[in-house]
């Protein structure tokens, strides 16, 4: 019994879609795969083109994690900056987005447009005034706040915009029902809206954390102490045995070490997002 033409078309489209997704996945993961296997090669084997290192070596990771390298401290600095930026951005953006989604006032659309427009300024264009402000007026150079505050200013527009759209999709009858049941507006927001807004909040947290973790220009400009540099800056300053040698193997290993926390964070937040979506559907 032969399949009908309609079923064959569905199968062909499904196979074509799966093949397309596979090619996209391979294209996106190929650089990370090459970085991963290169990090396990010996220095003498670094430019080999085999798909797997032979033999496997941990010398690059030992070089990265040496106390004299200071990379562990750089990872801690990145965690402090990215974590603080994410926490502050979520706190401010959640309150702001809820007000923009629920309160009707003149010029609200203009404010939303202005918020998203502020994210269009290139980072490099703002470095000179920020550097002058933090050096002469605030004396923030070589401090965490010199990296957190600028990163926060770039993270907030996207966070506010994402959460505003998400809050607008939640029906206002939820707050009205909570108020009828005796809740105050603050209790309705904390006990009803925030749990249902979990998927949007965690998705925004993922984007904010990744952006702050990968930030390079601000951290490079605002910090010149080795003990305060972030992981991305530390990788750029790795030196070889001689002044003309580029330590590709060490940089590859450091890149893997920096990328793994992002993968772990994304996986953990994805579970929370799925849980939030399921609980929201049940409610």
CATH number of the domain at 233, please. 1.10.3720.10
Distance of CA 68 to the CA centre of its chain: 29
Per DSSP, the three-state class of 3 is: coil
In a domain, 187, yes or no: yes
**Predicted structure pTM score:** 0.85
Element (H, E) at 99: helix 71-102
Does residue 15 lie within any of the structural domains? Answer: no
Identify the weakest region by mean pLDDT among 69-78, 223-232, 255-264, 270-279: 270-279
Q: How far, in Å, CA of 144 to CA of 222, rounded?
A: 9
Residues 135-184 have pLDDT tens digits of 888 989 999 999 999 999 999 998 998 888 888 888 888 888 888 888 88
Tokens for 174, please give them. Answer: 């939820």
Query: Which helix (H) or strand (E) element contains residue 84?
Result: helix 71-102
Cα distance between residue 35 and residue 45, in whole Å: 14
Domain of 105? 70-237
Task: Answer whether residue 92 shows pLDDT above 60.
Answer: yes
Q: What are phi and psi for residue 131, nearest 5 degrees?
A: -65, -40
Pull the structure tokens for residue 99: 């007000």
Residue 264 has pLDDT above 60, yes or no: yes
Domain assignment of residue 229, yes or no: yes
φ, ψ at 266 (rounded to 5°)? -60, -45
User: pLDDT by residue (tens digit) across 3-30?
Assistant: 566 787 888 888 888 899 999 989 988 9
Q: Does any domain span residue 32?
A: no
Number of compact structural domains in the chain: 1
Write down the pLDDT at residue 183.
Answer: 85
């Amino acid at each position: 019994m032969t399949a009908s033409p309609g079923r064959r078309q569905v199968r062909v489209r499904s196979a074509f879609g799966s093949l397309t997704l596979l090619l996209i996945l391979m294209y996106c993961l190929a650089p990370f795969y090459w970085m991963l296997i290169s990090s396990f090669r010996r220095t003498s084997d670094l430019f080999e083109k085999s798909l797997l290192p032979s033999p496997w070596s941990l010398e690059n990771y030992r070089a990265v994690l040496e106390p004299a390298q200071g990379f562990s401290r750089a990872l801690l600095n990145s965690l402090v900056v990215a974590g603080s930026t994410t926490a502050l951005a979520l706190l401010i953006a959640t309150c702001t987005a809820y007000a923009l989604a629920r309160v009707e006032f003149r010029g609200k659309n203009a404010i939303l447009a202005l918020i998203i427009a502020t994210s269009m300024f290139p980072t490099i264009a703002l470095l000179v005034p920020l550097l002058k402000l933090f050096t002469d007026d605030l004396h923030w150079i070589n401090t965490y706040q010199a990296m957190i505050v600028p990163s926060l200013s770039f993270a907030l527009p996207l966070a506010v915009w994402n959460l505003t759209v998400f809050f607008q999709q939640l029906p206002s009858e939820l707050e009205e029902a909570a108020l009828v049941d005796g809740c105050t507006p603050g209790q309705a927001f904390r006990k009803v809206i925030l749990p249902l807004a979990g998927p949007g909040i965690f998705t925004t947290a993922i984007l904010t954390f990744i952006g702050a973790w990968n930030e390079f220009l601000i951290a490079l400009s605002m910090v010149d102490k080795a003990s305060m540099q972030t992981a991305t800056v530390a990788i750029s300053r790795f030196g070889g045995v001689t002044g003309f040698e580029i330590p590709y193997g060490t940089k590859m290993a450091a890149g893997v070490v920096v990328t793994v926390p992002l993968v772990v964070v994304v996986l953990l937040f994805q579970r929370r997002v799925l849980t939030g979506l399921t609980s929201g559907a049940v409610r």
